[in-house]
Amino acid sequence: MSLEADQSKFTVEEIVARSRGEMIPLSSKFSYFATLPIAEEDLRQYLHDPIAAISPAIVGALPRMGIILAPYVEKGNGKGVDCVTFERPVESRHIPSSRSERQGLLVLVLGVKDIEVADYHYQFYNALAGVVAERWPVDVQERFFRAIREELSAEIHGEVDEKSWHLKQALLRRQTNVRKETKLFRDYARQAFEDTLTLYLHGTCCDIDVETGPRQMPGRYLRRRLELLIAIYPPPEGYAVLPEHLKPREPDTAERHSTQRRRERRGSAEKTKEMLLCALCASALRIPSGYFSSPISSARMRAATSLPRSPVSPVGPTHEGQPASQAQAASRPAVWRSSSGARR
């Protein structure tokens, strides 16, 4: 159905009501509706790839999910409802997503125009993390609260993203015993969970850059959080957020035999070339036969002329944060860029 031909703006509730019967299934849990034409390759990047990277433990805990791809989403005025619009809203009213739930279907409405796929992935996972954070079970809360208390006791500076940073600062300013479970503590811990889960989901799907800065938490503590989420929500088979968790695929018998034959052919060819080179050199320089009793090692020659590789950290983010006394410049979300394809 062509919504743009009817009018240029709909409330989110109207869009959900009109599209509910036309949702296209993606899996037993997810379905979608697009309010504008989208190419099949773009649908793969908007829907299939990011959904495939979600932990089965998260998928199992979600309600039935609908995803509506819209041009833009506009924030409602005051108590007004959010809207889907075909013209870009003014910047102060432009929001990345909105949510509606009715009759057992939770719908995420996401804007896709004038946005890079990398940023769309971040918005998608951030919206999904918000759904998970509203429904996290008590045992998950307790484990994450324990991690947050350890960080607060160690006076760890920084956070994963902007929202949790501001809530952390409010907690530190207004509460003497920051480990005590108050509304301030719960609000901060829940937002920290949501922001960290966004990073975890995004990093599972894509290769991302974590921007460092004065508000970014130290890398080793960020890693601890990610390891906790990996334990709670293991990634799907073939996906990983930390490099050392990526398992290389074992070649089958045919592949091993093929590789061995290629090595044998390459070795035979190299030996022939070396013998020919030695014979030519011996003939030209009148060097007695048998002088080249040991073949030249082409591997050693390659190694001698190769430049050393740059060191690569196997542990992901390594920034160690900044002292609390440092001036706090404005920062952007920790998750900023990604490749558009899923990492498998």
* Residue 322 in tokens: 């900044």
Flag whether the pTM goes above 0.85: no
Question: Contact, 159 vs 196, CB < 8 A?
Answer: no
Please tell me the predicted confidence (pLDDT) of residue 308. 39
Please tell me the predicted confidence (pLDDT) of residue 268. 59
How buried is residue 226: exposed, middle or buried, by Cβ count under 10 Å (0-12/13-18/19+)? Answer: buried
Which pLDDT tens digit goes with each residue over 71-91?
Answer: 999 998 877 889 999 999 999
Which pLDDT tens digit goes with each residue over 100-124?
Answer: 998 889 999 999 999 999 999 999 9
Q: Which residue has the tokens 């938490």?
A: 217
Q: Which residue has the higher pLDDT, 125 or 283?
A: 125
Please tell me the predicted confidence (pLDDT) of residue 68. 97
Please tell me the predicted confidence (pLDDT) of residue 257. 58
Which segment of 50-59, 119-128, 176-185, 313-322 scores lowest on mean pLDDT? 313-322
**DSSP string covering 233-282:** SPPPTT--SSGGGPPPPPP-HHHHHHHHHHHHHHHHHHHHHHHHHHHHHH
Q: Which residue has the higher pLDDT, 7 or 322?
A: 7
Please tell me the predicted confidence (pLDDT) of residue 259. 58
> Could you tell me the pLDDT band of residue 214, with boundaries at 50, 70 and 90?
confident
Please tell me the predicted confidence (pLDDT) of residue 196. 97
Please tell me the predicted confidence (pLDDT) of residue 171. 97
Q: What percent of the chain shows pLDDT beyond 90?
A: 59
Which pLDDT tens digit goes with each residue over 12-21?
Answer: 999 999 998 9
Which pLDDT tens digit goes with each residue over 286-341?
Answer: 434 443 333 333 333 333 333 333 344 444 444 444 445 544 554 444 444 444 44
Q: CA-to-CA distance for 329 and 60, rounded, in angstroms?
A: 40
Please tell me the predicted confidence (pLDDT) of residue 109. 97
Which pLDDT tens digit goes with each residue over 144-179?
Answer: 999 999 999 999 999 999 999 999 999 999 999 999
Q: Which residue has the higher pLDDT, 195 or 41?
A: 195
* Long-range pairs for 149-158: beta carbons < 8 A, 24 or more residues apart: 149/179, 151/217, 151/221, 152/178, 152/179, 153/179, 155/324, 156/217, 156/218, 156/221, 156/321, 157/217, 157/218, 157/321, 157/322, 157/323, 157/324, 158/214, 158/215, 158/216, 158/217, 158/218, 158/321, 158/322
Q: CA-to-CA distance for 164 and 186, rounded, in angstroms?
A: 11
Which pLDDT tens digit goes with each residue over 240-295?
Answer: 888 777 765 555 555 555 656 666 666 655 555 555 444 444 444 343 444 333 33
